[in-house]
Amino acid sequence: MFKSVLVANRGEIACRVFRTAKRMGLRTIAVYSEADAGALHVREADEAVLIGPAAARESYLDATKVLAAAKATGAEAIHPGYGFLSENADFAEAVAAAGLIWIGPDPSSIRAMGLKDAAKQLMIEAGVPVTPGYQGADQSEATLTAEAARIGYPVLIKAVAGGGGKGMKRVDDPADFAAGLASAKREGAAAFGDDRVLIERYITRPRHIEVQVFGDRHGNVVHLYERDCSLQRRHQKVIEEAPAPGMSEAVRAAVTGAAIKAARAVNYVGAGTIEFIADASDGLKADGVWFMEMNTRLQVEHPVTESVTGVDLVEWQFRVAAGEPIPLKQDEVQLNGWAMEARLYAEDPANGFLPSIGRLEHFVMPDDIRVDTGVEQGGEVSQFYDPMIAKLIVHEDTREAAAARLAEAAGEVEVWPVKANAGFLKRCLEHPRFVAGDVDTGFIAAEEAALRPRPSDEATLAALTLIAEATTEAAEAPSDRFSPWGGQPGLSYGVRLNGPPQTTVWAHVDGQGVSAAVTPIETGWLGGSGERAHAGFDQVQAGDRVFGYQTVDDGFVVFVDGEARRVAPYRAAVGSGAAAASDGSLRAPMPGKIVAAPVKAGDAVTKGQPVVVLEAMKMEHALTAPFDGLVESVAGLGDQVVEAAVLAVVRAR
């Protein structure tokens, strides 16, 4: 076994690999960009090397700098994590050429499976069922348009070198094919340096099922059962689980058998994932599951497989890379219980899931489940990298218990002032369809209304009552409409717990004027303590519920059910902010680059029509016309813009 390992990555996956490496007594080495100088993975490593500016292409994607860091620190092995250089065959070859151990598959396997079109052809030859589609060399728009018509709409356009939902576009109408193709090509070129695409038939009720495989240099290949990753948004996974709901032994045998065939077809070594698409229109069937692609690396969702098998997949990676055989034979890999993982993103579900950046002034995670993260309180969520900030993982005896515990854990998340999707995760996990296992990749879009952020409820307002009680003097405030917590004459400044059984509480919650009759619960005042005491945060308890909060300006931030709710005193004449939303100015939600401007100054546009496309945090974000009108101005193609910059102005006709 080697004695030291450099992780050519950052954030959560770097911390995850270090955890196993330290348990095994290995020296750990981190690399970092200027933006990550204070990052958690840098501090957790035994040694760390600065490799360049914030931009990934000048740091984490620069193979020469990574190899120089390995040489300078005496690293014996390199673990690539996921993303960045993890599926770069040239980098794998360079690692071996430098006399280092590459913790991953052979470069030939990466190349064979790295391009989706070539991989599909290889799988056809190996007898693995594949999704009907086109993966030919002719990339002309005319040919691709004709092939899409032959396959039949809806179709899925996919960058051949893609992954993580980048360079992937669903097209339902032939009239939209050209625009979808152009966008997929742009994203493919920007993310992977390759604008080629393939086209597949879009399965109308698809489920995403994948199989964890592992191979070694002694001819052994095993599977570690399946995961279901069907709960997705914009082709990016949100919640993953193992095993897959509704999986019969016959279908499991078919899909795991196909996965073993796929791995053997490329002489696979190390951890890999074979991804399948299943038609869920009439339950899972052995002849209704098709190969999509192979990820020749460790997956983001690997913890759910670890939970149900009891295997440390990173340890297996180390041992296989060192030349050892796989520690278990196939019949020794057991499936126990049910595991679920939710991806906590720095994004705003109330604003189209736009990524959120900034300092994590308050960051509290559940303390009795597995949490994999690469950030901590006081850290930064950067504009330069993926917005995932943590993974919440639970393992229970049954699926129902796992979903309930993960929903509870999501509700315990406290993040401020960066926006996070914890409340959205909780609503997904508690939705009756999800609880019943009735999930496909269109679930989130279909249930959008039920999954939106909810208006203020009794729980929030009860928390306000308690906070007001605990933080104010007994004296009464002036009995007018500007009383901080009262909307009626004579209501005391702090709503007294020995007052009437019910009290009407008035406040502005997230800018909306609300009121409700609440009954104060027998309480225990906790004050500032533990992690929540950082940065001025305190907490109150109502019955068995604990609410974290912070005083900000003239109000509070209250954490309830995974949401950070901004609460201000009730004012009778608070503006709605509608003018700012209706002046026709389209502002950048975050720093980024203008990659497309479908319209020009003077063009007429209709409400919802794309006006300008911003690339930020590895994804494209289309800003649309807020109403019918004429384009007065639009930013230039290629412009780098800062947050809140005016990108276009539309004037009403």
Just list the catalytic residues: 297
| Amino acid identity for residue 356 in this structure | S
Cα–Cα distance, 303 to 340 (Å, whole number): 9
Residues 6+ apart with CB under 8 A from 136: 117, 143, 147
DSSP state of 530: G
Q: Alpha-carbon Rg of the chain, whole angstroms? A: 26
Cα–Cα distance, 231 to 81 (Å, whole number): 23
CA atoms within 13 A on the CB side of 598: 20
CA angle 167, 172, 177 (to 5 degrees): 55
Contact 132, 151 (CB under 8 A): yes
Cα–Cα distance, 125 to 299 (Å, whole number): 26
Contact 581, 511 (CB under 8 A): no
Q: Which two tokens stand for residue 159?
A: 């960058």
Cα–Cα distance, 294 to 343 (Å, whole number): 21
Q: Which two tokens stand for residue 338?
A: 């049910």
Residues 6+ apart with CB under 8 A from 346: 355, 356, 357, 381, 387, 388, 389, 415, 418, 419, 420
Q: Hey, how many other C-beta atoms are within 10 angstroms of the C-beta on 121?
A: 14
Contact 458, 518 (CB under 8 A): yes
Per the omega criterion (within 30 degrees of 0), is the bond before 243 cis?
Answer: yes
CA distances from 480 to 87, 249, 418, 466, 596 (A): 65, 69, 35, 21, 53
Q: Hey, how many other C-beta atoms are within 10 angstroms of the C-beta on 377?
A: 18
